[in-house]
Structure 1
Amino acid sequence: MSNYFVGDVQGCYAELARLLDRVQFDPSRDRLWSCGDLVARGPDSLKVLRLFRQLGDAARVVLGNHDLHLMAVAAGLKRAKPKDRQQPLLDAPDLAELIHWLRQQPLLRHLPEHQLLLSHAGLPPHWGLNTALKRAEAVSKTLKRDDYLDFIGTMYGEKPDADEPTLSKRDQQIYTVNALTRMRFLYPDGRLDFACKSGPGDATELRPWFEYPKHKLLKKNTLVFGHWAALEGHSSHPNAIALDTGCCWGGSLTFWRLEDRQRIEQPALELSYS
C-alpha cells in the first residue's frame, strides 16, 4: 500500500490521470490524499470531483477555499467567475450529490500513526493538536447541517484575522476557515494577512506561517499543505510539505508519496489554464 498526497488539482483532470497511471495507482491497495481545491481554474472540475467521489475510501480529501466557494456559487449566494471554468460542473445533473459529498469532507485530517496532518493552507502556529482537531470538527459539523448555507453566506471577508478568546462560536468558525483554507503570511503578532500571495522573499514585515517562532505542531508532526503556488513546492521548514506547484498556472501537478517522501511531478499540459 502506498499513500499519495496531491497538491491543488483545480480541475486539472488530465494531469491527475497521468500521475495516477505513472504510479500505477490501485484503489484496492493505495490511497490518494488531496490538499483541497479540487475545483476551479482548470478545464475539468466536474471530472475531478466525480473521480474523487467514485474512489470512495481510496480517496481522502480536505476542503480548500475554492471548494467552499463552489458551495456558495451552487447555492446562488455568489456569482460564478468565468476564469473558474465551472459552468459544466454547475450544469451537471449530479451537482447536488457532488455538493453533498463535498460537505462531508473535513478541513483537517490527522494520521496519528505517521504523526502527519493534512490541511489546505496550513495550521496556525499557536494551536496544539487538540485545538486544531476541535476547531476543524466544529466547522465540519456546521457544513453537514441542513442549514449550512447560513454559515456559507457569512464566512466571506477578512475578519476575524486573529483567534481572540472573546470571539463568538460563529466567528471562531470563520477564523478557522480563514486559517485552514486561506492562510499564507502572518504579521508579527500572529494576525492573518490576506493580501500578499507572492513568495516569502517578497514580503517585509510578514512571515510565512511555517516560519513563525515556536510553531507548536511542526515540532513533532509533518504538515502537508497546498494553496500557495508561489512557493513552487518548497518551504523553509523540513516538516512543512508544500504541494501546490501551480498546475493551473502552467506549472505542474505534484504527488508526494508518504512511504519514501518522493515527489512525482506531471507538467501542465497547457501553458496556463487561467
Structure 2
Amino acid sequence: MATYLVGDIQGCFDDLKTLLDTVSFDENHDHLYLAGDLVARGPDSLSVLRFIKSLGAHGHAVLGNHDLHLLAVAEGFKKPKAKDKTEAILYAPDRAELLSWLRQQPLLIHCDSSNDNAPGFVMTHAGIPPDWDLDSAKRHANAVESILRSDRYSWLLENMYTNEPAKWSEKLEGIERYCYTINALTRMRFCKPDGSLDMACKLPPEEVTDGHLVPWFEVKKRQPIEETLVFGHWAALGGVVNHQLMGLDTGCVWGGALTMVRWEDRQIFSLPCPVHAH
C-alpha cells in the first residue's frame, strides 16, 4: 500500500490518470490525497469528480476555492463562467449525487504517521494561517464542514464571498468566523507581518516589492506545527517540497506540470502538461 499526494487537478482528468498509471496506482490498496481544486479551468472536471468519488475510502480530497465556487454556482448564487468549464457537471444525470459528495469533503485532513517517531501530514488547499496551531485549525475547519454538510449549507455558500475579516480573533462569531476560515484554508497566499490575510496578491514571492507582504508560511510569529503541511492553490510558487512544507500546485492547467509525492519515501513524480486553460 502506498500513499500519494497530488496538487491541483482543476479538471485535467487525463493528466491525472496518466500520472497515476506511471506509478501503477492500485485503486484497491493505495490511497490518493488531493489538495483541492478538483474542478475548473481544465477540460474534464466531471470525470475528475466521478473518478475520485469512485475510489471510495481510497480517495481523499480537501475542498479548494474552485470546488466551493462550483457549489455556489449550483445553488444559483453565482453565474457559471465559461472559462471554468464546469457546466457538464451542472447538466450531468448524476449532478445531485456528485455535488452532495463534494459538499461532504473536508477543508482539512490530518493523516497521522504510522511511525511513532515521525510526524504525519496536514493537508488543506491553501495552508494554515499563522495564528492557528493544529488543534485550532482542525476545530475551525470542522465548524465550517459541519455547516456544509447540514441543511444550512446554502446560507454559507451565499455569504462566503468576502475578503473580511482579514485578521483572526477569538472574538469573531458567526459568518465572520466562517468566512475567515474559508479564506484562510482555501484562498490564502500572502500575509502581513501581523498575520493578517492579503487576498489580492498572487505573484511569486520573489516578485513582490511590498515589504509588508510575506508568504503565510514565513510569518515570523507563526504558530508551530510539527506535521508536514501539504497544500496547493499557489502555482506561482513553482512547487515546494521539504520536511516542513509540500506546495504541490505546479500549474498543470496552465501548461506547467501535475506533481505528485509518494508519502512513504517522499519521491516526487511530475508530469509535464499541455495548456488547458484559456
Structure 1 and Structure 2 fold alike (TM over 0.5): yes
Structure 2 match to 1:139: 144
1:234 deviates by: 2.4
Following TM superposition, by how much is the alpha carbon of 1:164 offset from its aligned partner in structure 2, in angstroms? Answer: 1.9
Contact 2:159 2:175 (8 Å CA) reproduced: no
Structure 1 residue 89, shift from structure 2 partner: 1.4
Are residues 1:63 and 2:70 paired? no
Task: Answer whether contact 2:257 2:272 (CA < 8 A) is retained.
Answer: yes
Q: Is the counterpart of residue 171 in structure 1 residue 176 in structure 2? A: yes
Q: Which residue of 2 aligns with 1:244?
A: 249
Query: Could you tell me the percent identity over the aligned residues?
Result: 50
Task: Report the CA distance between 1:159 and its aligned residue.
Answer: 0.6
**Which ranges in structure 2 are unaligned for 5 or more consecutive residues?**
114-118
After superposing on structure 2, the runs of 4+ consecutive aligned residues of structure 1 that deviate more than 4 Å are none
Alpha-carbon distance between aligned partners in 1 of 2:84 and 2:224, rounded to the nearest angstrom: 33
Question: Structure 1: how far apart are the matches of 2:152 and 2:193?
Answer: 37
| Pairing of 1:100-249 with structure 2 (within 5 A) | 100-113=100-113, 114-203=119-208, 204=210, 205-218=212-225, 220-234=226-240, 238-249=243-254
Report the 3-state secondary structure (helix = DSSP H, G, I; strand = E; otherwise coil) of the residue aligned with 1:246.
coil
Q: Within 2, Cα distance between the matches of 1:259 and 1:215?
A: 27
Aligned residue in 2 for 1:17: 17
Letter in 1 for 2:12: C
TM-superposition CA deviations, 1:6-43 (whole Å, max 9, x none): 00000000100101111100021100000000000000
Normalising by structure 1, report the TM-score. Answer: 0.96
Distance in 2 between residues matched to 1:150 and 1:229, nearest whole Å: 30
* Alpha-carbon RMSD: 1.2
1:273 to 2:277 alignment: yes
Give 1:169 deviation, angstroms: 2.6
Residue type matched to 1:157 in 2? T
Which whole-Å CA distance do the structure 2 matches of 1:257 and 1:238 have between them? 13
Tell me the matched-pair count: 271
Q: TM-score, normalised by structure 2?
A: 0.94
- Structure 1: runs of 5+ lacking an equivalent: none
